[in-house]
């Protein structure tokens, strides 16, 4: 596997690890939380994140397409997000050709999703359901582990 694919796969594993924190154990009311008038709700952001990885997969497959999904209930949307990340990672792990550059994939859907994970973490705090900060440098992040079930934090504070 080439270096670019390895780095993309590690980026995806990191993204999944970081996403699991604000998505896990979110209060029932959080999905509808909107930090300001005109801002997206938490579940709208999560739906967009799933759409980002559907788009990323279609791009690497050479059939780029964008679709804005109607948000589903929180649990289903969380499952859809992790399934989309897993499908993208599965493709990256294969020998199939990439019809998009690693640079474009990172600066587009991956970086966008990382931004939204930060938004969801901040929104959890604003909704009075904060997640604990963590030293991600020492986190147990494993390439290919891209689902909601992640390793326990090594160093939260």
Q: How confident is the model over 87-125, as pLDDT tens digits?
A: 999 999 999 999 999 999 999 999 999 999 999 999 999
In-domain check, residue 62: yes
The burial class, CB within 10 Å (0-12 / 13-18 / 19+), for 53 is buried
pLDDT tens per residue, range 26-46: 998 999 999 999 999 999 999
What CATH number is given to the structural domain containing 16?
Answer: 1.20.120.450
Domain extent for 84: 3-138
Give the model confidence (pLDDT) of 7-16 as tens digits.
999 999 999 9
Model confidence at 154, pLDDT cuts 50, 70, 90, reads very high
Distance, in Å, from the CA atom of 95 to the CA atom of 16, rounded to the nearest integer, reads 22
Q: Is residue 39 in some structural domain?
A: yes
CA distances from 19 to 47, 49, 64, 96 (A): 13, 10, 24, 27
Residue 78 lies in a domain: yes
- Residue 87: the pLDDT is 98
SS3 2: coil
Count of structural domains within the chain? 1
pLDDT of residue 1: 67
Question: Is there a domain that residue 68 lies in?
Answer: yes
* Residue 144 lies inside a defined structural domain of this protein: no
Which residue in 121, 137, 142 sits closest to 21, CA to CA?
121
User: Which two three-digit tokens encode residue 112?
Assistant: 């966008």
* CA–CA separation, 141 and 154 (whole Å): 10
Q: Tokens at residue 89, please?
A: 């990672």
Q: pLDDT per residue over 54-95, tens digit each?
A: 999 999 999 999 999 999 999 999 999 999 999 999 999 999
CA-angle at 89, arms to 154 and 48, nearest 5°: 85
**The two structure tokens encoding residue 139:** 């986190």
Contacts of residue 4, Cβ cutoff 8 Å, sequence gap at least 6: 102
**Is residue 151 domain-resident?**
no
The helix or strand, by DSSP H or E, that contains position 120, with its residue range, turns out to be helix 111-126
- pTM given for the model: 0.96
């Amino acid at each position: 596997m080439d270096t670019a694919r390895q780095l993309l796969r590690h980026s995806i594993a990191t993204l999944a690890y970081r996403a699991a924190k604000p998505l896990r154990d979110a209060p029932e009311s959080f999905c509808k939380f909107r930090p300001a008038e005109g801002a997206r709700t938490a579940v709208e952001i999560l739906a967009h994140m799933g759409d980002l990885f559907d788009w990323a997969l279609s791009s690497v497959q050479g059939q780029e397409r964008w679709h804005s999904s109607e948000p589903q209930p929180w649990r289903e949307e969380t499952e859809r997000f992790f399934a989309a990340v897993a499908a993208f990672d599965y493709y990256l792990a294969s020998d199939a050709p990439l019809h998009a550059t690693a640079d474009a994939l990172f600066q587009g859907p991956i970086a966008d999703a990382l931004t939204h994970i930060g938004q969801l973490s901040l929104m959890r705090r604003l909704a009075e359901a904060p997640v604990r900060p963590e030293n991600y440098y020492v986190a147990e992040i494993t390439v290919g582990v891209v689902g909601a079930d992640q390793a326990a934090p090594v160093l939260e504070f």
